[in-house]
Amino acid sequence: FVCPHTAVGLVGSERPTEAEASVVLATAHAAKFPETVTAAVGLAPPVPAHAEPFLKGEEVFDTVPGEIAAVRAYIAGRTRAR
């Protein structure tokens, strides 16, 4: 299972518009959207025990400008250098 937003990203990555590799960042666990996932695939996503507290907590997110340079900088700033 993947969340609805990640599913859209996966479909988009299958249709590249540039000669570059695709990266799809999962935005949430499928259990965060049980009604949507169930409607799409006919099964309710299981909720892992370790995820239950997150589903009850406050939503936290970052906003990044819709420009490739900004997305690259955001990812680079939050990952280990290789």
Task: Determine if the pTM surpasses 0.85.
Answer: no
Per the structure block, which two tokens stand in for 14? 């299958």
CA dihedral 26, 31, 33, 39 (to 10 degrees): 110
For residues 43 and 76, what is the distance between their CA atoms, to the nearest angstrom?
36
Task: Kindly report, residue by residue over 50-82, the tens digit of the pLDDT.
Answer: 888 877 888 888 999 999 999 999 999 988 765
